[in-house]
Amino acid sequence: MLDKVEIKGYKSIKELSMDIAPINILIGANGSGKSNFLSFFNFLKEIYKQNLQQYVALNGGTESFLHKGNKVTSEIKAKVQLSANDYSFVLSAGVNGFIFSVETLSYSNPNSPFEGDLNINAFGFESNLKFNTKPRAQYIRDYLDSIIKYHFHDTGKQSPFHNSSNINSDHFLLYEDGRNLAAFLYGIKEEYPKQYNLIVRTIQSVAPYFSDFYLQPNENGNVQLFWTSKYSSTIYSSRDLSDGTIRFIALTLLFMQPKLPSTIIIDEPELGLHPFAINKLSGMIKSVSKKGTKVILATQSTDLISYFEPEDIITVDQIEGESVFKRLDSENLKEWLDTYKIDDLWKRNIINSGQPNS
């Protein structure tokens, strides 16, 4: 379980130490650093996959990853705390990319003879975590394997939602852009019919005309997302759904899947959603957080944050090129919360950090 993240020298983040609560909602202006924090998890996964050099080269080189560039920052430091296990590294900028000055696995349990730090890398160009045989390495690998940063923004005619996917190879987990929506749904329908029916009923609560999905694989096991209406015998394509409806379908599947991931990371999930759908989304977020899944998301929606407690919300401001993160506190806002909801305080500038126009 992800408990804490520490980052130094990464993009707009000069220094950050953040405890990860069950719900973590980042609010702030465009360019404040919300997306940089979410992108760190992509960065972490590319490191684990031994794809650091290619990933950095294809995304602007070391200059674009170091806080304020090479002239100001020479290394990126990070530490991820997973219960009693920690994974940390120091990446130094070299002539041809980053090198690992340090890569460490730590285990903190006073009752264990294996407690302590284990340095697994010295001046390598790629991580050594993937093939390390220590049990603590396996624990960290299991978590990093599960990290997916979701984005369901593309709903156009060429959207990934309209792709065909294979019921044999694409049903294991939901892909980051929803391109295997049909196969993933098919797998749930076959293995977890009760959960599938609950997903359908949740979608119907937002789209009353929706009857069911029509999932018919071809002879090769490929399936596309079709659906039926309560008011017609026509079988409709996913292209016949509104942008907001297809996004809500993807979100419902993400938050109501039978085997929840340990962490869900998503950017602006509220885009294009009707206020009632945002209400439903907030309920799904709260539900998974109570089942042990931690949720990290970025938003600019006052409608969405209105359903959450101050402690669920982290304001993000960029001050002189540095992203500053601050978790809200009910005690400090107690007098105001007796009269206003959390979104009212943001609109009225009583919560004066993380403002959209700051």
Mean pLDDT of the chain: 91
User: CB of 248 within 8 A of CB of 283?
Assistant: no
Please give the pLDDT value at position 43: 97
Task: With CA atoms as reference, report the closest residue to 34 among 43, 25, 44.
Answer: 25
pLDDT class of 329 with cuts at 50, 70, 90:
confident
Token code pair at residue 290? 């109570």
Please give the pLDDT value at position 337: 60
- Average pLDDT of the segment spanning 251-277: 95
pLDDT class of 354 with cuts at 50, 70, 90:
low
> Which 3-state string (H, E, C) describes the chain?
CEEEEEEEEECCEEEEEEECCCEEEEEECCCCCHHHHHHHHHHHHHHHCCCHHHHHHHCCCHHHHECCCCCCCCEEEEEEEECCEEEEEEEEEECCEEEEEEEEEEECCCCCCCCEEEEEECCECCCCCCCCCCHHHHHHHHHHHHCCEECCCCCCCCCHHHCCEECCCCCCCCCCCCCCHHHHHHHHHHHCHHHHHHHHHHHHHHCCCEEEEECCCCCCCEECCEEEECCCCCEEEHHHCCHHHHHHHHHHHHHHCCCCCCEEEEECCCCCCCHHHHHHHHHHHHHHHHCCCEEEEEECCHHHHCCCCHHHEEEEEEECCEEEEEECCHHHHHHHHCCCCHHHHHHCCCCCCCCCCC
pLDDT in tens, 95-153: 889 999 999 999 876 555 555 788 999 899 999 999 999 888 999 999 999 999 999 99
Nearest 5°: CA angle at 264, between 258 and 267? 130
Please give the pLDDT value at position 151: 93
CA separation for the pair 206, 208 (Å, rounded):
6
Helices 243-256 & 181-191 angle (0-180, nearest 10): 50
Please give the pLDDT value at position 224: 97
What the chain holds in terms of domains, given with CATH numbers, is 2-148+295-347 (3.40.50), 151-260 (no CATH)
Check whether 358 has a pLDDT greater than 50.
Answer: no
- Average pLDDT of the segment spanning 302-314: 91
pLDDT in tens, 277-288: 999 999 999 999
pLDDT in tens, 339-349: 556 766 666 56
Please give the pLDDT value at position 103: 96
- Average pLDDT of the segment spanning 1-17: 96
Check whether 338 has a pLDDT greater than 90.
Answer: no
Q: Which residue has the tokens 């993240």?
A: 5
- Average pLDDT of the segment spanning 181-194: 98
Of the two residues 353 and 260, the one the predictor is more confident about is: 260
Please give the pLDDT value at position 190: 97
Q: Which residue has the tokens 């601050």?
A: 326
- pTM, full prediction: 0.91
Lateral strand order in the sheet of 235-237? 210-214, 226-229, 235-237
User: CB of 279 within 8 A of CB of 308?
Assistant: no
CA separation for the pair 5, 79 (Å, rounded):
6
Of the two residues 343 and 233, the one the predictor is more confident about is: 233
- Average pLDDT of the segment spanning 53-73: 96
Please give the pLDDT value at position 349: 65
